[in-house]
A and B are shown apart, each in its own frame.
Chain A
């Protein structure tokens, strides 16, 4: 059995990617299982999805903690200790990252157990679909190609099955072209078998009865939500051009998150620890003095 784990963000089509890969494997004669893990979070928040592929019936259920293949849709997730996308990966795990970096560059930055495979999917999605952040087809294709046991024809069929209902024929066609492009840009890998670890039994948890006031969820620290950093939701980052900004503060008024503060000189300052990258400020700045840069590039400025 091959176990694949996908990491991405709400709105990138990560769940759909796991479905396309599952259907493609099924079309190629395998049994398949695919599902996302939903939290309460929304568009932009980190998302995980899973696909299991096997020639024999799949009896295992639940999330995949030791993947054979890890598909990371957004390299900024590597920075995030809450997501920890490399968790459970060992030397035998093939890791694929959507990034503009070279393998050496990215290996220097993050503790990969083995050299990762890299391709700039965002750029290709931008070229083919006009939308760099819709990764469903691209990530599924990368997965299918790396696995090496799924036919291109079966994959194209899966893309049609999963997206044909909701996309216009032109857009579907562009997705099929994107599939072929990415399929031919990567090479298959040999996926080493992972020995199945026996489940270690854990002792039963004993439940204690506690007084009601301890059990009721009461929060006594006002505004402590700021401890949660939503800056890791961002795929793009806004950057204010202070040479031109005239302090009109439209951006400040329009930011849904309230992450633009006004400094002593009356200038807007973006709190990057919390900015979710919706890009409303960039769209609404009357003189277009807020630029949009790809997060992976902006983060190192």
Chain B
């Protein structure tokens, strides 16, 4: 029986990540991972792709109670496969007591997850690797100065997709649909989570922890530095992403997609857009009505399948 949380006071009291990391003040991704690890506990080995979360551990310091292996941007899932196989072999040979079995957790940014790391991930999904994948989605290559990734949304400006005369919208492609790409390979479980919804997030991790096979989380990660807002507003931004319907909170399990936190009455998308510097070109010097209404239409189209 999976324990379900109802209030924040039900959250697991133990912190698995100690403070002291070099991540930005107000990093939404860190908060998502912190809440996730509270649920997963200590018996976890993290395979971490190069990215912002490289700064979690800086030699000779680690904020973790469990193990951490650092990989290239494309390498966290192959690393997870290697560790899983090694654990399985040792357990089978009886060289490792069963209580030393670890949960293998990949932690990777959206760049790694959507771009260079996707091929190996797809291969691991095909092999039904037993692991959990945590993608902190800050919608760009954050660590190297916020460049365009396949997860950067249409209409956002990044270092490599600024709004220009030729390309007024900034990023011109739609955000890659990582949820559906995973879903097409029929993994055990997929969920989107937001640090603004700690109960929903914790319950999903509690659920995933009891399963085996490939399990994936996409965590919307407000990034004060790259998105351009005051760190104190990280949760306001996260909430608006949910309330405007831009970031649907859902899960996929046993062939069904369920929205676990539905926006009651969807707010207009500009409530989310207007508070971030990366969208400021949509409002100033002139309102880019066509881009804003296209973003609204994309959101409306998405929800029309479920309403």
Contact = CB atoms under 8 A, between A and B. Distances in A.
Interface of A: 10-11, 39-45, 168, 217, 219, 221-230, 233, 248-250, 252-259, 262, 266, 271, 274-280, 282-284
B236 interface: yes
Contact of A226 (B19, B52, B59, B224): B19
B306 interface: no
Contact of B58 (A40, A44, A249, A256): A40
A225 B235 contact: no
Interface of B: 8-9, 11, 13, 15, 17-28, 30-31, 34-35, 52, 54-55, 57-66, 195, 198, 224-225, 230-236, 284
Given A256-B26, A258-B34, A225 B61 contact: yes
Contact of A45 (B22, B59, B66, B195): B22
B137 to A, nearest CB: 15
A278 B25 contact: yes
A224 B55 contact: no
A297 to B, nearest CB: 18
A223 B63 contact: yes
Q: Chain A interface mostly helix, strand, loop or mixed?
A: loop
Nearest to B224: A43
A92 to B, nearest CB: 35
A253 B198 contact: yes
Contacts of B20: 225-230, 274
Nearest to B67: A222
A229 B20 CA distance: 6
Contacts of A225: 18-21, 57, 61-64
Contacts of A221: 62
Nearest to A133: B230
Contacts of A226: 18-20, 63
A257 B19 contact: yes
A256 B55 contact: no
Contacts of B235: 254, 280, 283-284
A217 B69 CA distance: 11
B8 A252 contact: yes
B11 A222 contact: no
A223 B65 contact: yes
A256 B234 CA distance: 10
11 contacts: A217-B59, A219-B59, A219-B60, A224-B62, A226-B20, A233-B25, A249-B8, A256-B27, A257-B21, A266-B9, A276-B25
Contacts of B35: 253
B24 A42 contact: yes
B8 A228 contact: no
A265 to B, nearest CB: 13
B26 A258 contact: no
Contacts of A222: 62, 64-66
A70 to B, nearest CB: 25
6 tightest Cβ-Cβ pairs between the two chains A and B: A274-B19, A225-B63, A278-B26, A42-B24, A279-B232, A256-B31
A279 B59 CA distance: 28
Given A249-B8, A276-B26, 11 more contacts: A42-B24, A43-B231, A225-B57, A227-B61, A252-B8, A256-B25, A257-B34, A258-B15, A274-B19, A278-B224, A280-B231
Contact of B25 (A43, A271, A284): A43
B243 to A, nearest CB: 15
Contacts of B232: 278-280, 282-283
Given A229-B20, A250-B8, A258-B18, A280 B234 contact: yes
B22 A42 contact: yes
